[in-house]
Chain A
Amino acid sequence: MTAKPRLTHNHARRLLGQMMRIRVFEERCAELYTQQKIRGFLHLYIGEEANAVGTMEALTPQDSVVATYRDHGHALARGVAMGPVMAEMYGKAGGTSRGRGGSMHIFDRPARFYGGNAIVGGGLPLAVGLALAEKMAKGSGVAVCLFGEGAVAEGEFHESLNLAALWKLPVLFVCENNLYAMGSAIERTESETDIHLKAASYRIDSRRVDGMDVVAVEAAARGALEHIRGGGGPVFLECMTYRFRAHSMFDAQLYRDKEEIERWKERDPIKRFQTWALSAGLLHDSDVTALSAEAVIEVDAAVAFAEASPWEPLADLEKHVLMDKVPA
């Protein structure tokens, strides 16, 4: 771990709490999926929580976020309320998108959370445009774009990095490199596996971060945002991470060894940060117990909210296809 900021008790408590509530939320999602409460694709973020939590911790409300289909952790870390996120997973009217998007498409206007994009690479041009508008309107917000290393092979990745660098746009690119594009290992899909070098070739300030270390991610994000807000143009972070669960629920994981998964689990960002914070005296056992209980209570409440939420009426099927006005 490099250049750790000095953490306060409250800060450490918040980081651990955020990661724990995402973890508990997603474990519950897996369970609900087997019960057919949640349908469609369900991509769990378990193992990668430090990236979302560290990044979002550094953001201001003016910043906007573009995420991928593995977006529950991002939405929750960004402050989207858990009840509506769970209701969205259920497809209920109380969901963030009134149930129309589901797990892969969490959108939230107050949080400036621009989706849950399920086209790999498809969110990058959006982030460039959000940043372009911000720059033209002389706003202070930064567009933060999270994507996996699979997106690097898409043309949209290269087009977007070039545009952002060319126009010096306030974009923070966060590549969550979990080593597998679905079932394809990075060395089987990329000629250059050192991803941050690709960004550097567009003259973008670019660095690699330990994505299993929430403090390292937050520190990198803070440094990057400072650079961007100072007019230095986009920054690219490659967060080295790993997903502990399958790509989506119905994935037999024929493409990787159990030993590899176990090795990465030893670096579980929650256990690791918790152990470190306890040993450093920043947190006490009672904090961990309390945070754990709070997470379960919040998830229980979110499930209850989703269960109680009504379905969209069939009569509204064609609503929101064409808009009557631009929401204020």
Chain B
Amino acid sequence: MSAARRKTTYREAVRDAIREAMLRDPRVFLMGEDVGRYGGCYAVSKGLLQEFGEERIRDTPLSESGFVGAGIGAALNGMRPIVEVMSVNFSLLALDQIVNNAATIPHMSGGQFAVPLVIRMATGSGRQLAAQHSHSLEGWYAHIPGLKVLAPATLEDARGMLWSALEDPNPVLIFEHVQLYNMEGELDAAAGAVPISGAAIRRPGRDLSIVTYGGSLSKCLAAATALAGEGIEAEVIDLRSLRPLDDATIMASVARTRRVLIVDEGWRSGGISAEISARIVEQAFYELDAPPARLCGVEVPIPYPKHLEDASVPQAESIRAAARALVRPT
């Protein structure tokens, strides 16, 4: 009955997921900058070149548009590529391919062609990498019909979302928060694929709903634990998928708690938090006891010094304060 559990990290969980996919399906290959000899910018693919060879662990030139487009072409022609883009900031160089080709070809061809492609990229701040390596632009991609956008925030999801994404006939973007790679924990030894649709309630609570995803999840859970000490029970929802959004789980939670705080490392203006807030107002207005609240990244390019970087994005303490202000207004 008791499944064996083993210690692992988020990085290893992603690597195990890639390895499993490579073993299960010969059409799968990994392609990106420094994924082979270097072992991946964040060491996710370390060792895979030795195991699978250069043909399937494919180092590319610094040509984001070129190799992302090549991934789309390979997917159109029967392969199941995993394309790694080093960071979401770099993915802007491939925006044309992702938005104009991957997201449109199925529709524009009247359903003749599918693009079963997975693009993984690192996102988020916290490593003092300054304003061209630290942004959270996943919300932009969530704007695009034709794409699916995932944000694994737990070891289970890091391990399990990739295979389900590869099995999906649509282009799926997976955003891995840089601060999660070192996250340690225990994972079922038999852990495998997980569904890629639907949000998860990571902590039940009655006084407010905290809606978040990715790198902010652990901060929200820490805040919720602290809030419990003050008598405030926060429900924490991990969105898991930013497109499509799981409206039903969000609305059901808000209907129970009547207050909602959306926590997003991305900027507030025009961000995914704005979309979630709008949907709550549209769908659950009469369940609300207070306006939906948002705690987002400060509207500044992420600065380099640690104290300024930390202050740029939601942290457990600021989440706690925002939640408290929502539940116990003074």
A125-B66, A323-B170 given; A131·B73 CB < 8 A: yes
Task: Evaluate contact between B111 and A129: CB separation under 8 angstroms.
Answer: no
A100-B107, A107-B110 given; A122·B100 CB < 8 A: yes
Task: Evaluate contact between A319 and B111: CB separation under 8 angstroms.
Answer: yes
Q: Which residues of B contact A48 (CB under 8 A)?
A: none
Please encode chain A, from 74 to 116, with 1 for each CB lying within 8 Å of some chain B CB and 0 for all others: 0000000000000000000001111111000101110000111
Could you tell me the distance between the alpha carbons of A255 and B14 in the complex, rounded to whole angstroms?
55
Which of the listed residues B65, B72, B96 has the most CB atoms from chain A within 10 Å of its own CB?
B65
Q: Which residues of B contact A127 (CB under 8 A)?
A: 73
Q: Is A126 an interface residue (CB 8 A)?
A: yes
Q: Is A326 an interface residue (CB 8 A)?
A: yes
**Nearest CB in chain B: distance from A223 CB, A:** 24
Could you tell me the distance between the alpha carbons of A143 and B260 in the complex, rounded to whole angstroms?
52
Please encode chain A, from 238 to 268, with 1 for each CB lying within 8 Å of some chain B CB and 0 for all others: 0000000000000000000000000000000
Task: Evaluate contact between B114 and A325: CB separation under 8 angstroms.
Answer: yes
Q: A114-B113, A321-B146 are in contact. List 10 more A-B contacts (CB 8 A).
A: A99-B110, A116-B108, A119-B101, A122-B97, A122-B100, A128-B69, A133-B74, A155-B93, A156-B96, A323-B169
Q: Is A149 an interface residue (CB 8 A)?
A: no
Please encode chain B, from 96 to 129, with 1 for each CB lying within 8 Å of some chain A CB and 0 for all others: 1100110001111111111010000000000000
**Nearest CB in chain A: distance from B128 CB, A:** 30
Task: Evaluate contact between B78 and A129: CB separation under 8 angstroms.
Answer: no
Task: Evaluate contact between B66 and A162: CB separation under 8 angstroms.
Answer: yes
Could you tell me the distance between the alpha carbons of A119 and B94 in the complex, rounded to whole angstroms?
13
Partner among A64, A319, A320 whose Cβ is within 8 Å of the Cβ of B77: A64
How many A residues face the partner with a CB closer than 8 A? 48
For this complex, into which size category does the number of interface residues on chain B fall?
35 or more
Task: Evaluate contact between A159 and B66: CB separation under 8 angstroms.
Answer: yes
Task: Evaluate contact between A126 and B61: CB separation under 8 angstroms.
Answer: no
Could you tell me the distance between the alpha carbons of A297 and B29 in the complex, rounded to whole angstroms?
49
Task: Evaluate contact between A115 and B77: CB separation under 8 angstroms.
Answer: no
Which of the listed residues A96, A97, A114, A326 has the most CB atoms from chain B within 10 Å of its own CB?
A326
Q: Which residues of B contact A314 (CB under 8 A)?
A: none
Could you tell me the distance between the alpha carbons of A319 and B111 in the complex, rounded to whole angstroms?
8
Task: Evaluate contact between B70 and A163: CB separation under 8 angstroms.
Answer: yes
Q: Is B55 an interface residue (CB 8 A)?
A: yes
Closest-by-CB residue of B relative to A105 is B108
Name A305-328 residues within 8 Å CB distance of B. 319-327
Task: Evaluate contact between B78 and A133: CB separation under 8 angstroms.
Answer: yes
Name B306-321 residues within 8 Å CB distance of A. none
Q: Is B67 an interface residue (CB 8 A)?
A: yes
Q: Which residues of B contact A155 (CB under 8 A)?
A: 65, 93
Q: Which residues of B contact A115 (CB under 8 A)?
A: 105, 108-109
Q: Which residues of A contact B111 (CB under 8 A)?
A: 98, 319-320, 323, 327
Closest-by-CB residue of A relative to B61 is A162
Q: Is B75 an interface residue (CB 8 A)?
A: yes
**Nearest CB in chain A: distance from B98 CB, A:** 11
Task: Evaluate contact between B106 and A129: CB separation under 8 angstroms.
Answer: no
Could you tell me the distance between the alpha carbons of A327 and B114 in the complex, rounded to whole angstroms?
7
